[in-house]
Amino acid sequence: MKKNLLYIVILSVTFSVAQSKEERAELFYSDFKFEEAINLYEDLASEKRRPSLQIIQRLADSYFNINEYQSAKDWYSKLYAIQGKEIEEGNLIKLVQCLKASMEISKADELLKEYYKDPMKLKMILAQKAHLDSISTENPMYKLTNLEFNSGKSDFAPALYKTGLVFASTRDTLKSNKLYPWNNQPYLDLYFTNPKVTDYVPEKFLENMESSFHDATIAFSHNSRTVYFTRNYIKKNKLNANADGLSNMEILKGTILDNKLINVSSLSFNSKDYSCGHPTLSRDGMSLYFTSDMPGGYGESDIYVVALTNTGDAAGSPENLGPVINTRGREMFPFVGNDILYFSSDGHYGLGGLDVFASAILPKFEFSLPLNRGEPINSNMDDFSYIREMASNDGYIASNRFGGKGDDDIYYFEGIKPTDCLEYAGYVLDEKTKEPIIEAIVELFDSEDGLVLATKTDIYGFYNFILPCDKTNKLVFSKRKYSKKSIVVTTTDIINEPSLNNKVYLTPFESLVVKDGDDIKINVEPIYFDYDKSDITARAEIELEKVLFAMREFPEIKIKIESHTDSRGKDGYNLNLSDARAKSTRSYLIANGIADTRIESANGYGESQLKNECSNGVKCTEQKHLVNRRSDFIIVPK
């Protein structure tokens, strides 16, 4: 089944005898009759020594649109041989997917590295590749089962509904006399089944829902009363075409009552000029994610989100999820589980065709780096319409992978007794600037084996691990001139939902110190003492907390404490007072957990090292005297 489901042809075409073969091929192509178009384009290509770029492009796209990736690869390769690095990014993405579908992984990777010169884009791809490489194929986390109710046609887009499953299918033989020109299969209808009951025969969903064209990709509110689904764009109960004679898809909202669909309405952002489909709801039911090819997107189809009112209608205009999620390729079939967005894409680094990716939903609808779910969830063919049961973390996915019963089949995936239980990923950030820390070291330890694995963060400060089951895992984060942090992550013996947005902040050394001549000092305001006393005051404690913080963040540094007074008072008295204050400060730090070996000395210098002209007998303001009345925490060079 063509996965886009974005439009259908309404206007029929009559061929005249005078039309050339290329004109007839173009008409077939524009009517999405790709198999007929291929026959004519292949003839044209064989008749010409050097077929035109237009014919090569049409053949490549036609084969790609009917999922014949091997043939599509041959024609995209011809296009690349002619155009080289000037090839359009969309064509390059399709060539890479076709190569992967043909298991030519190394060649696909080489093309990506040759094509992308943008270091940010390339590092994003390499980070996704590194993650995919880290997923074990020898010890898979899931077992996939092809479900009994699959037909010889296309079955996909499962959605959990009460005790069973609603899905889209072209199995209706009564519609066989009216075929979808894209793939010569009947139009889609929605069916209900209970996949856990043996011999349960799927039945049409709801008594009055069926239409003459596509009904597919459905989502339910938490109470299962409000429903969102995809149907061809309709006006006054008739298919509505745009200027090109196409009926796009729209998302409809309705209410289920007594096994019937009532109060059906079109969401406000639908348009006959573009398609919207594949709806899914956020965890709180207040946001609707969907797929669209509306103008202003990044690729062939993008994922959008729109806020909903309390009545379930669109509260405003849809928002594109942005370039972290959307690419020049196809992004579609979103599904939200807790705070994770799952979706299918052929534009991110994958195994071939459409692959399922996961991305953490961050505040303000920002997203973490999409990570490939790996095998066996993904294959070298199209894998899409992923959903999961939040209680068990098992779920369903559709795929046209080899060995299925029909064009697309629905599979049930369940966790097998795993050795790895948690996909754990996140970002290492600068505590002061909140910017990513590139090439921070991330080490994974366990209590039995010590250091298990080490990696470095990428340009986004991103890292990821697959954590073993039933372990107490310690992750240690570090980088030169930054503080070191460690966290403990305990896993159970079951597969957990990915944890993809864990943030660790490291403190830059330079943010805690100041250079004073040849000395590097911990940066604090003056330490205040009461007149003629050396006791630590509440005001002094505020500044000493900065010293404690710096020494805790950087446990390798040692200091020496030097206390000073202003020039007022007798020299000897000031010397003794400053020395008492230095030693009082030292005692305070030790009492708060700093090892005495980390304080090399604590001495007072009285008024012998004034910072300005305010020596004995010189009239100065209180502010100028204050500059001299100080304690310094000097870092001892290693």
Q: What pLDDT sits at residue 415?
A: 79
Q: What pLDDT sits at residue 91?
A: 87
Asked whether residue 94 falls in the same domain as residue 106, the answer is yes
- Determine how many CB atoms are found less than 10 A away from the CB of residue 45: 17
C-alpha span between 315 and 309 (Å, rounded): 5
Asked whether residue 48 falls in the same domain as residue 111, the answer is yes
**pLDDT-derived band of residue 6, with 50, 70 and 90 as boundaries?**
low
Contacts of 615 (CB under 8 A, 6+ apart): 567, 607
pLDDT in tens, 42-98: 888 888 778 889 999 999 988 988 888 889 999 999 999 999 888 888 888 888 888
Q: What pLDDT sits at residue 59?
A: 92
Give the 3-state secondary structure of residue 329. Answer: coil
Asked whether residue 475 falls in the same domain as residue 565, the answer is no
Asked whether residue 466 falls in the same domain as residue 550, the answer is no
Asked whether residue 535 falls in the same domain as residue 618, the answer is yes
pLDDT in tens, 569-612: 888 888 998 898 899 889 999 999 999 999 999 999 888 888 88
Of the residues 494, 509, 524, the one at which a domain ends:
509
Give the 3-state secondary structure of residue 35. Answer: helix
- Write the CA distances from 10 to 7, 30, 248, 285, 464, integer angstroms: 9, 12, 10, 35, 48
Q: What pLDDT sits at residue 304?
A: 97
Asked whether residue 518 falls in the same domain as residue 631, the answer is yes
Q: What pLDDT sits at residue 179?
A: 52
Q: What pLDDT sits at residue 158?
A: 96
Beta strands in 481-522 (DSSP E): 485-490, 499-506, 513-516, 519-522
* Residue 490: Cβ-neighbour burial (10 angstroms; 0-12, 13-18, 19+): exposed
Asked whether residue 528 falls in the same domain as residue 630, the answer is yes
Average pLDDT over residues 358-374: 86
Q: What is the CATH number of the domain that holds 520?
A: 3.30.1330.60
pLDDT in tens, 8-42: 544 444 444 456 888 888 888 877 788 888 999 88
Domain of 484 in residue numbering reads as 422-509
Answer yes or no: is 184 within a domain.
Answer: no
Give the 3-state secondary structure of residue 319. Answer: strand
Answer yes or no: is 207 within a domain.
Answer: no
Answer yes or no: is 12 within a domain.
Answer: yes
Asked whether residue 577 falls in the same domain as residue 560, the answer is yes
Q: What is the CATH number of the domain that holds 465?
A: 2.60.40.1120
Q: What pLDDT sits at residue 239?
A: 60
Kindly state the DSSP code that residue 572 receives in the 8-state scheme. Answer: H
**pLDDT-derived band of residue 325, with 50, 70 and 90 as boundaries?**
very high
* 98 touches 72 (CB < 8 A): yes
Nearest Cα to 35, choosing from 77, 78, 2?
A: 2
Q: What pLDDT sits at residue 462?
A: 87
Of the residues 457, 483, 509, the one at which a domain ends:
509
Of the residues 91, 111, 134, the one at which a domain ends:
134
Instruction: Look up the pTM and report it.
Output: 0.72
Compute φ and ψ for 525, nearest 5 degrees.
Answer: -75, 170
Q: Which two tokens stand for residue 376?
A: 């066996």
Q: Distance between terminal CA atoms of the chain?
A: 67
- Determine how many CB atoms are found less than 10 A away from the CB of residue 403: 8
- Write the CA distances from 5 to 125, 189, 293, 321, integer angstroms: 28, 13, 11, 20
Strand partners, 366: 362
- Determine how many CB atoms are found less than 10 A away from the CB of residue 133: 10
Mean pLDDT, the chain, as a whole number? 85
Q: Which two tokens stand for residue 41?
A: 């384009």
pLDDT in tens, 251-285: 999 999 999 999 999 999 999 889 999 999 998 89
Number of structural domains in the chain? 3
C-alpha span between 451 and 443 (Å, rounded): 7
Asked whether residue 117 falls in the same domain as residue 43, the answer is yes
Asked whether residue 503 falls in the same domain as residue 462, the answer is yes
Above 80 in pLDDT, residue 387? yes
Q: What pLDDT sits at residue 220?
A: 94
pLDDT in tens, 470-487: 888 999 999 989 988 999
Average pLDDT over residues 446-451: 75
Answer yes or no: is 529 within a domain.
Answer: yes
Q: What pLDDT sits at residue 244?
A: 56
C-alpha span between 127 and 455 (Å, rounded): 11
- Residue holding tokens 């900065």? 546
Answer yes or no: is 274 within a domain.
Answer: no
pLDDT in tens, 131-181: 888 776 777 888 899 999 999 888 999 999 988 999 999 887 565 455 554
Amino acid at 438: I
pLDDT in tens, 486-503: 999 988 877 778 888 889
Average pLDDT over residues 109-117: 84
Q: Please state, for a pLDDT cut of 70, what percent of the chain lies above it.
A: 91
Above 90 in pLDDT, residue 184? no
Specify the range with the lowest mean pLDDT, choosing from 79-83, 376-380, 620-624. 620-624
Compute φ and ψ for 269, nearest 5 degrees.
Answer: -90, -5
Answer yes or no: is 567 within a domain.
Answer: yes
Q: What pLDDT sits at residue 14?
A: 43
Compute φ and ψ for 61, nearest 5 degrees.
Answer: -70, -40
Asked whether residue 13 falls in the same domain as residue 129, the answer is yes
Winning range, highest mean pLDDT, from 133-137, 202-206, 232-236: 202-206
**pLDDT-derived band of residue 186, with 50, 70 and 90 as boundaries?**
low
- Write the CA distances from 462 to 127, 162, 344, integer angstroms: 8, 39, 21
Answer yes or no: is 483 within a domain.
Answer: yes
Asked whether residue 498 falls in the same domain as residue 454, the answer is yes
Q: Please state, for a pLDDT cut of 90, what percent of the chain lies above it.
A: 34
**pLDDT-derived band of residue 532, with 50, 70 and 90 as boundaries?**
low
What ranges in 21-68 are assigned the alpha helix state H? 21-30, 34-47, 53-65
Above 90 in pLDDT, residue 243? no
Above 60 in pLDDT, residue 245? no
C-alpha span between 559 and 635 (Å, rounded): 4
* 312 touches 325 (CB < 8 A): no
Answer yes or no: is 57 within a domain.
Answer: yes
Above 60 in pLDDT, residue 231? yes
